[in-house]
Amino acid sequence: MAPRNRRRHGGQAVKIVVTGPFSAGKTTLIRTISEITVLSTERGITDETRAQKAQTTVAMDFGRISIDRDLVLYLFGTPGQERFDFMWEVLGEGMLGYVLLVDANRPDSFREAVTINAAFRAMAPVPFVVAVNRTETLTDELDSALREALDIGVDVPVLACDATDKESVKSVLLALLYALLHEVEPATAHG
Amino acid sequence: MNLEGSLDAFGLSDVFSLLAMTTKSGALRLRRTASSGVNSAGVVWFSSGLITGATADLSRQSLTRRLVGSGIVDDGALRSAVGRVQSAGIDRDGVAKALLESGAVEPDLLQAAASDQILDAVFDLMRWADGDFAFEMDASNPDDVGVSIEVSGIIEESRAREAAWIDVSTIIPSPDSILSVPVVLSADPVVSRDEWALLALVDGRRCVRDLVDLTGAGQFAVVSTLASLVRRGLLVVRDVASADHVGVVERRLSLLGPLEDLEVVTARLDSPAEAPAELEPIPESNDGRSSLVGLGDDADDAADQVDRTARAEGGDDDDDDESDEDFDDGSGDDDDDSEDADGQLSRSMAARRSRPSRDDVVPDRSEPFLPPRRRAQSERPAARAEASAVARASGLVAVPTAGGPPSVGSAAVALEESADPSAIERDPSINRSLLLRLIAGVRGL
């Protein structure tokens, strides 16, 4: 009998969700790292938040990273405004883990981050990291404030991030992937 | 009652014109019994001859559903508004107005939604071929949110929609039609944001009625958008009786099986006339149950689910996630595991041996991650019961045993009530090998 054809044609796709408060930089983060032009569903803002930015994501952002020939990582960005939270569950289906992005310059948005994080924790007990955008360094004070607000322990990575910088975004994704590895195989994970 | 009659004797547009010309205020109530025996009731609210509200289905909170579907109402505000209406105890209407008064929705957004709701409702009501109407003088609209539209404009719009509807309904034949995204497109897709928002909800299982409910955007708007997407080849109306793209490829490749000396595993044959002359017998799993060959996608899902269960409970030491041998090796390492795990592994092996291997037949393509569908919201008990019956009839749900719940088939899992129905599970096939590949890939960017 001839050997069975074992080539893999279809490949595998995995998903990471990028979530966080309104105007935290989620769309920017995905655009920075995605190899394709991010399919973004943005719409002009008509309410009082227009002062913060002119457009906002109303359904999702969608980016792609081809890992190798058979493996693709998709990034899904959630709409930040709470009134679109019905999309969160749709986007969260089957995710490996998620990045909770917050804006270091907007401590008033941390409360919103708490709500979002609670919703995602309730949806899926998957690993996550907290990325603090628009800051080069994470002060102990800010780290503590975030951990206390989000009620997270030292096992959850909290790291500074610049959503416009590719290396910085890579660090965020790697932190999440190592957290996943640690969960799958605690003894061998390192990072 | 000052004015009442039959719609087949006095058309709705004539009734509207009469009420408008006489600047009446009140509720025009309509009801009919369809040939199926289902009773329907609607109402159109008038104030000084102008229409201030309408619904074609009094059993539903049409306007509030529209607000919920558009995502502009949060849980707390909705709960509070429903509570206010319930405590008032007069009737079930008034939720939208309560939302407005509490400041939960912006007046402009609510009025836009109310205008769309009126247009959709009148359009639906004008398609009633028969039924009765009665005008209740001076009744006030409990959901009056400040919208008032001239009758002439609504009638004109409804007639325009009627003309368009003839074309649309030939493409989307029924509210129960199921749409899916085609595997192959003839050109790069171009879609608007509104179209994308609708595309994101199409999962090959939801019917048009579900999509209308989820978006709250109204039947005409949703169906028109879907029809446009179908026309452009971005959606297809799924014919349940026919095989999908993968099924067609599998069927044709199975015809080559005897010549290629491959394991003949595909059996999705639409008709006996197209069956290959000789098919290898369908293997049976260790527990004597027939394997899942021939059940197409559901069989794949079922086998995958069994694999996942076996991996989760029986352990999986594989570093390579792709090969059958890898899985066999894994089961060999688990000789000391419990009987339950062994049983699951055996079933998994049988399912894996027998199910079609998509990797062998699906051409290279990038496609978005498509997790198994989970309920996005509570489904109607009747629909769930029907789904359960279909799943049992198809053999995908194992009969529960004294030892535990059904254990075979994705349908069995989907129909199970978990401890937390809102919980979403991460793909259990994620393993160390995969994660190391991801890490290496991201590092190399």
Q: Alpha-carbon distance B440 to B445, whole Å?
A: 9
* A5·B422 Cβ contact <8 A: no
* Cβ neighbours of residue B277 closer than 8 Å, sequence gap 6 or more: none
- Angle, CA B409 vertex, CA B406 and CA B410 arms, to 5°: 110
* B442·A177 Cβ contact <8 A: yes
Among chain B residues, CA nearest to A91: B200
pLDDT score at B248? 65
For an interface test with B, the pick among A12, A43, A65 (most B C-beta atoms closer than 10 Å) comes out as A12
Q: Alpha-carbon distance B302 to B408, whole Å?
A: 7
* B442·A93 Cβ contact <8 A: no
Q: How, if at all, do strands B178-180 and A12-19 pair?
A: unpaired
Among chain A residues, CA nearest to B361: A9
On whether the CB atoms of residues B359 and A9 are closer than 8 A, the answer is yes
Residues of B in contact with A13 (CB under 8 A): 366-369
Residues of B in contact with A86 (CB under 8 A): 71
E runs forming strands in chain A: 12-19, 39-44, 55-68, 71-77, 97-103, 128-133, 158-161
* B441·A67 Cβ contact <8 A: yes
Characterize A90-110 residue by residue with b for buried, 16 or more Cβ atoms within 10 angstroms of its Cβ, and e for exposed. Answer: bbbbbbbbbbbbbbbebeebb
Q: Alpha-carbon distance B226 to B212, whole Å?
A: 10
On whether the CB atoms of residues B198 and B206 are closer than 8 A, the answer is no
DSSP state of B401: B
pTM of the model: 0.40
- Angle, CA B433 vertex, CA B301 and CA B334 arms, to 5°: 70
Check CB contact of B364 with chain A, cutoff 8 Å.
yes
* Cβ–Cβ pairs < 8 A, chains A and B: 149
pLDDT score at B418? 38
Q: What is the CA radius of gyration of chain B?
A: 28
Nearest-neighbour CA in chain B from A157: distance (Å): 16
Q: How, if at all, do strands A12-19 and A71-77 pair?
A: parallel
Residues of A in contact with B73 (CB under 8 A): 83
Q: Alpha-carbon distance B84 to B71, whole Å?
A: 21
On whether the CB atoms of residues A74 and A35 are closer than 8 A, the answer is no
Helix (H, G, I), strand (E, B) or coil at B30: strand
Q: What pLDDT, in 10s, does the model give residues A144-182?
A: 999 999 999 989 999 999 999 999 999 999 999 999 998
Per-run averaged pLDDT (10 residues), chain B, 445 residues: 73 83 88 80 93 86 81 85 79 79 86 89 87 88 88 87 88 88 83 85 86 82 92 83 60 72 45 42 40 36 40 39 36 40 43 43 40 40 40 36 34 35 54 90 89
pLDDT score at B34? 76
Q: Alpha-carbon distance B13 to B19, whole Å?
A: 10
Among chain B residues, CA nearest to A64: B368
ipTM of the complex: 0.84
* B371·A68 Cβ contact <8 A: no
B200-207 contacts: CB < 8 A, separation 24 or more?
B200/A59, B200/A60, B200/A87, B200/A90, B201/A90, B202/B235, B203/B373, B204/B178, B204/B179, B204/B180, B204/B238, B205/B178, B205/B373, B206/B178, B206/B179, B207/B175, B207/B176, B207/B177, B207/B178
Nearest by CB: A93 against B73, B367, B374: B374
Residues of B in contact with A1 (CB under 8 A): 261
The first and second tokens of residue B32, run together, are 């009919």
Q: Alpha-carbon distance A10 to A6, whole Å?
A: 12
Amino acid at B201: L
Helix (H, G, I), strand (E, B) or coil at B437: helix
* A5·B423 Cβ contact <8 A: no
In B, residues 96-115, which contact A (CB 8 Å cutoff)?
106
* B359·A95 Cβ contact <8 A: no
Q: Alpha-carbon distance B246 to B233, whole Å?
A: 18
- Angle, CA A183 vertex, CA B338 and CA B417 arms, to 5°: 60
pLDDT score at B264? 43
pLDDT score at B323? 36
Among chain A residues, CA nearest to B196: A41
For an interface test with B, the pick among A88, A177, A182, A188 (most B C-beta atoms closer than 10 Å) comes out as A177
On whether the CB atoms of residues A113 and A33 are closer than 8 A, the answer is no
Residues of A in contact with B71 (CB under 8 A): 83-87
Residues forming a β-bridge with A74 = A15, A64
Given CA atoms B164, B170, B171, B174 in this order, what sign does their dihedral have? Answer: positive
Check CB contact of B389 with chain A, cutoff 8 Å.
no
* A13·B72 Cβ contact <8 A: no
DSSP per residue, B261-306: T--------S-GGGS-S--PPPPB-TTS-B-STT-HHHHHHHHHHH
Q: Alpha-carbon distance B26 to B42, whole Å?
A: 14
Helix (H, G, I), strand (E, B) or coil at B419: coil
Highest mean pLDDT among A15-29, A43-57, A83-97, B406-420: A15-29
Q: Alpha-carbon distance A80 to A27, whole Å?
A: 10
Tell how far CA B372 is from the center of its chain: 13
Which of B156, B128, B154 is CA-nearest to residue B45?
Answer: B154
Instruction: Report chain A's mean pLDDT, rounded to a whole number.
Output: 80
Residue with tokens 């995908």: B396
